[in-house]
Amino acid sequence: MNFVNQNIKPLNTKINEMGNLEISGCDLVELAKKYSTPLYVMDKITLEQMATDYKEAFSSYKNTRMMYASKALMTSTVASIFYKLGFGFDVVSLGEMYILKNAGIDFSHATFNGNNKGREELVYALENNIARVSVDNFYELELLNEIALQKGKIQKILLRITPGIECHTHEYIQTGQLDSKFGFDLHMIDEAVTLIKEKYKNLDLRGLHAHIGSQIFETQVFEDEIEVLLKEIKRIKDKFNIELDEINIGGGLGITYIKSDTPPDVYKIADIIINAIKKYANLYELNEPVLYIEPGRSLVATAGVTLYTIGSSKDIQGIRKYISVDGGMADNPRPSMYNAEYFAEIANKKDDYKPETVTVAGKFCESGDILIKDIELNSPKAGDILCVYDTGAYCYSMSSNYNGVLKPAMVLINNGKSDIIVRRQTLEQLIQNDVIV
């Protein structure tokens, strides 16, 4: 049995009687006609199932707080869906907090993370009663205490630490190794705790936060992380007579982008995490802490696909055939940034399969604008609709206006119905902040 994060395609993906790809009762070719391309498509059923899997997997540990890592994909509708399913939110910017507020979500369900939070962001967070701030460095400790004092508040915080754990993923999405911009190194913790205890009286230290990376397939690294966190909590208890009662272990569970990917399922990860907490809490004679976990990619990636229209092609005999689509690195920069791999299919002509190996290129003025290298597609031709899978995470949120291209629309599909949840950008919106002097 495959769980959602182990599938390449959204749930209920099939070929319909028209010979077209269909997801949750929606014909992808018809969606492309109705809304134009490029088009982000999010399947509500797949979103909800993955969220349900997380909740059920960790249900035996009653002190679990599920916090959606908003940076993966943040829209008001997506936030609302997860909030109704009992999730809180890990936010990393003023903009993400503003989207939460627009969705009517109370900040008591949110934590604020990031390595260089600005004064305006911290003021906004405190004015809206953010539940926790995960403090990343000494500069932020001083700034946050100053703002909390001005506001007459005692702000609950976690210290984000660098656990010194490296996982085998791309270096750009590793966050737990010693050479990282994030967090207090272990040798800095005592100084931070001393400052909070003796000087920064408007900060209430509740626990420790660590994050070891993203797109993780390993399992031992999660136990290693929990061991580091609880060992530090024990050491702080013995030295400062403070027993912290919260740990945030981040997220990072991988998903299946291509057939060779083999991520563990969320139930396996939950068993490892829960057993590790019980093991090390017992070993270090600690109370079992409140567990914050921050899934992002694994919640939304599989639910999303991007539809493109194929245009020009170039066949270099004996080397490679390129097909070009009407999007690329501006709506999905991940292949250009760190060689991310994707699987795709032609959404039409599924009944007559004639395989051809091609490289899918974007339309942008960069040689590196390649979405997928050497993939087998069904005789791709101009006008065909290409469906790229697993684009729910880090595509819309990283999108840009490079080459002056407009950002795509996004639709939510559910049981044969489609609704716009992000409108396609207009030319007027492209230049609305452009000033002639």
CATH superfamily, with its number, for domain 44-299: Alanine racemase (3.20.20.10)
* CA neighbor of 205 nearest in space, from 252, 166, 240, 176: 240
From the list 103, 178, 393, 158, the residue with the least C-alpha distance to 290 is 158
Average pLDDT over residues 357-378: 97
Listed range (45-49, 111-115, 169-173, 180-184) with the worst mean pLDDT: 169-173
How would residue 170 be classed by pLDDT, with cut points 50, 70 and 90?
A: very low
* 173: pLDDT strictly greater than 80: no
For the chain, where do the domains classified as CATH 3.20.20.10 start and end? 44-299
When pLDDT is cut at 50, 70 and 90, the band that residue 165 belongs to is confident
Q: Please give the backbone phi and psi of residue 26, each rounded to the nearest 5 degrees, phi first.
A: -110, 120
Flag whether pLDDT at 112 surpasses 60. yes
What mean pLDDT do residues 270-284 have? Answer: 98
In this predicted structure, the answer to whether residue 269 has a pLDDT above a threshold of 60 is yes
Q: Band of the pLDDT at 216, cuts 50, 70, 90?
A: very high
Q: Is the pLDDT of residue 74 over 90?
A: yes
Is residue 167 scored above 70 in pLDDT? no
pLDDT (mean) for 14-34: 96
Output the CATH code of domain 4-43+301-430.
2.40.37.10
With contact defined as beta carbons under 8 Å apart, do 72 and 397 qualify? Answer: yes
Say whether pLDDT at 172 is over 80. Answer: no
pLDDT of 422 higher than 60 = yes
> How far from 96 is each of 53, 91, 278, CA to CA, in Å?
25, 6, 34
pLDDT at position 373: 97
Burial pattern 221-231, b for ≥16 Cβ within 10 A else e, equals: bbbbbbbbbbb
Active site residues: 365
d(CA 421, CA 411): 5
Give the distance, in angstroms, between the CA of residue 369 and the centroid of all CA atoms in the same chain.
Answer: 22
Indicate whether 1 pLDDT > 80: no
Helix (H, G, I), strand (E, B) or coil at 150: helix
Mean pLDDT of the chain: 95
* Res. 346: pLDDT tops 70: yes
**What was the pLDDT predicted at 354?**
87
Confidence class for position 323, pLDDT limits 50, 70, 90: very high
pLDDT of residue 150: 98
All CATH 2.40.37.10 domain ranges of the chain, comma separated, are 4-43+301-430
What is the band of 349 on the pLDDT scale with cuts at 50, 70, 90?
A: confident
Sheet holding 26-27, edge to edge: 13-15, 21-23, 26-27
pLDDT for res 168: 52
The proportion of the chain whose per-residue pLDDT surpasses 70, expressed as a percent, equals 96
User: How many whole angstroms separate alpha carbon 189 and alpha carbon 161?
Assistant: 8
pLDDT of 118 over the 80 cut: yes
